[in-house]
Amino acid sequence: MFKQFADKLNNSKKIVFVTGAGISQESGIPTFRGKDGYWRKHDPMKLATIDAFYDDPKLVWEWYEDRRKNIRSAQPNAGHKAIAELEKYKDVVVLTQNIDGLHQRAGSSKVLELHGSIIRIKCTVCDYIDSIPNSFDTLPPQCKCGNTLRPDVVWFGEALPQDVWQEAIEHANSCDVMIIAGTSLVVSPANTLPLYAKQNGATLIEVNPDETIMSGDMDLSLKTTSASCLPELLPFIKNSNL
């Protein structure tokens, strides 16, 4: 699959991965827009908003608790593991839209969570932030300041954490290969990262069984799944010295 880019991959210094829900699909985690994305007939796009949270914080918490239970019982797949393995040979950075933490569980050390993490909570008012306890006595859980706690994720209409976003742009601007795996590239500003890399002359490789809005701008668009495809990268990288 990667034969025509063997030299580019072999000589690459820095590889940046931009990933989305599709890379965790083979770990049994529903994607956002796929037919399996709906929860109790709720459209995830509608639930992942501050308005939905203030309308019905218990419902939104139940949604995250359901997802968290599913994520806890999930395992990183061959796609996550291949990316982690590549770190032995190249400078690898993962810019993920996923809040599931599976890249880190696979062993990736440089992961930027553009949209936050489901295993962190924060207060809606004070600056309390913490990793999530195993379970809550009541939903929505309360902060010691008396206000409501929320998952430390970025909801639609909310800005991304600026320090994380600025760092993500720097990585996109300084890579020589960008691999975009398992994302529909519908959500902004994450979907602008390939543009930064392209402007920097990087080689863009897409891994997605379906067409995306940027498939035409890719140097290589592999219409397959990430768990079956990404392990095939290793032979092209292994025999190159750092």
Rounded distance between C-alpha atoms, residue 195 and residue 214, angstroms: 10
Q: Is 32 in the site for ligand BV8 (CB under 6 A)?
A: yes
- Using only the alpha carbons of the chain, give its radius of gyration: 18
Q: Helix, strand or coil for residue 206?
A: strand
207 binds, among ligand BV8, Zn ion, none (CB under 5 to 8 A by kind): ligand BV8
Rounded distance between C-alpha atoms, residue 40 and residue 67, angstroms: 12
Rounded distance between C-alpha atoms, residue 168 and residue 159, angstroms: 14
Q: What is the largest CA-CA distance in the chain?
A: 59
Q: Considering only residues 3 through 22, tell me which ones interact with ligand BV8, judged by CB under 6 A.
A: 20-22
Q: Helix, strand or coil for residue 81?
A: helix
* Token representation of residue 229: 């495809």
| Tokens 């939104």 found at | 60
| Given 152, 182, 197, 218, the residue binding ligand BV8 (CB under 6 A) | 182
212 binds, among Zn ion, ligand BV8, none (CB under 5 to 8 A by kind): ligand BV8
| 171 is a catalytic site residue | no
Region from 138-146, 166-174, 194-202, 203-211 binding ligand BV8, contact rule CB under 6 A: 203-211
39 binds, among Zn ion, ligand BV8, none (CB under 5 to 8 A by kind): none
Minimum CB–partner distance for residue 81 and ligand BV8 (Å): 14
Q: Helix, strand or coil for residue 26?
A: coil
Q: Looking at beta carbons only, is 33 or 122 nearer to ligand BV8? A: 33
Spatial contact of 180 and 211, defined as CB atoms under 8 Å apart: no
Site string for Zn ion, 116-155 (x = CB under 5 A): -------x--x-x--------------x-x-x--------
Q: Is 185 in the site for Zn ion (CB under 5 A)?
A: no
Rounded distance between C-alpha atoms, residue 57 and residue 51, angstroms: 9
Site string for ligand BV8, 144-173 (x = CB under 6 A): ---------xxxxxxx--------------
136 binds, among ligand BV8, Zn ion, none (CB under 5 to 8 A by kind): none
Q: 51-55, long-range: CB within 8 Å, 24+ apart, which pairs?
A: 51/157, 53/150, 53/155
Spatial contact of 146 and 152, defined as CB atoms under 8 Å apart: no
Binding residues for Zn ion, rule: CB under 5 A, are: 123, 126, 128, 143, 145, 147
Binding residues for ligand BV8, rule: CB under 6 A, are: 20-23, 25-26, 31-34, 37, 48, 97, 99, 115, 153-159, 181-184, 186-188, 190, 207-210, 212, 225-226
Residues catalogued as catalytic: 115
